[in-house]
Amino acid sequence: MSSLELLDSARAGDEDAFARLLEPHRAGLYVHCYRMLGSPDDAEDALQETLLRAWRGLSGFEGRSSPRSWLYAIATNSSLRVIERRARRVLPLDHGPAADPNDGPGPPLSESVWVQPLPDSALEPEDARADPEARYEQRESVELAFIAALQLLPPRQRAVLILRDVLGFSAREVAGALDATPASVDSALQRAHRTLDQRLPTRSQQDTLRDLDDDRLRALVQRYVEAWERADVDALAAMLTEEVTMSMPPLTSWFRGRRDVTEFLSGWPLDGRLRWSCKPFRANGQLAFAHYLLDAEDGSASAHSITVVDLDGERIGAMTAFLMPELFERFGLPRAHTP
């Protein structure tokens, strides 16, 4: 059945036709909501609201736009409603100034305000329907730095930038989705560009990873894993850039610079009292590691944190360690195992 035939059947109350109409867009809608909200859980809530509103609004869809455009308009407005109800998501770097490593990690923040990582398994294939002139690639636009920067934009600027620069919708389509004018959409996009240009690194992680061949990337991963598993602070410090940052949500404290990061590592997680096991994988289209704490008696491993790494060439420019064992299941990782 064609999209129009599925649409007609869905309007007549055929839930199976509605599900088939949605299926090609479902993964993309979820990732769109994640870009808007910075949280997989919030994105799932917005997606469910989108599906409900789309089902209820079928009779009002006249087919003047494509089903894709119509669905993304609903998802955008569902996300904007979630933003109105919940605190803005940030990373510790945007929550306060860098901390003194001598003060230790500090207490966690009880509020749920943190940007959270996204499994690579949730990423949609490259969308061939998107405008080839879109400013950001699909995978580039889920990198952790990009997601965190988006959350600093006013909600409607955020929506405009994602719809125009990531998904390739026209100014007219975006204006229709947001009940705005094309001129106001263009103005919002310019303001969003100014903010992001100041926040984002000059090179994306996708560019950096493309420049590293498999052997060099494999060697980098091996050095990182061995440094943690041997508690070798010097080996890990040698992998860091001078301006490296390390943050650990839900803790508010974070550290900047190789000296301070190394001092924190040597005084706390790599002081020799703890034993670690690390498993490399991918999150947000980036290199990531699952960190497990090893039991001193039986060697069993329990989930501790998920660290998303930003690379600067063959060095590490940022480590964002999510001290949230509950995230492991989302990534298909065991909460406990025997290495």
Tokens representing 235 are 């080996």
Whole-prediction pTM value? 0.95
pLDDT at 125: 63
Q: Which of 199, 216, 238 is the last residue of a domain?
A: 199
Q: Are residues 28 and 160 in the same domain?
A: yes
Per-residue pLDDT for 119 more than 50? Answer: yes
User: pLDDT of 278-326, one tens digit each?
Assistant: 999 999 999 999 999 999 999 899 999 999 999 999 999 999 999 999 9
Per-residue pLDDT for 144 more than 80? Answer: yes
The CATH code of the domain that includes 274 is 3.10.450.50
Q: Which of 199, 217, 248 is the last residue of a domain?
A: 199
Q: Which of 199, 219, 237 is the last residue of a domain?
A: 199
* 236-240: Cβ within 8 A, 24+ apart: 236/262, 236/265, 236/270, 237/261, 237/262, 237/265, 239/315, 239/316, 240/315, 240/316
Q: Are residues 273 and 289 in the same domain?
A: yes
Q: Are residues 87 and 185 in the same domain?
A: yes
Containing structural domain, residue 328: 205-337
User: pLDDT of 178-224, one tens digit each?
Assistant: 999 999 999 999 999 999 999 999 999 999 999 999 999 999 999 99
Q: Are residues 229 and 314 in the same domain?
A: yes
Q: Are residues 157 and 220 in the same domain?
A: no
Q: Which of 22-26, 152-156, 244-248 has the lowest mean pLDDT?
A: 22-26
Q: Which residues contact 259 (CB under 8 A, 6 or more apart)?
A: none
pLDDT at 134: 77
Taking a C-beta distance cutoff of 8 angstroms, is the pair 10, 17 a contact?
yes
Q: Are residues 239 and 313 in the same domain?
A: yes
Q: Are residues 187 and 244 in the same domain?
A: no
Q: Are residues 146 and 243 in the same domain?
A: no
Number of domains within the chain: 2
- Average pLDDT of the chain to the nearest whole number: 94
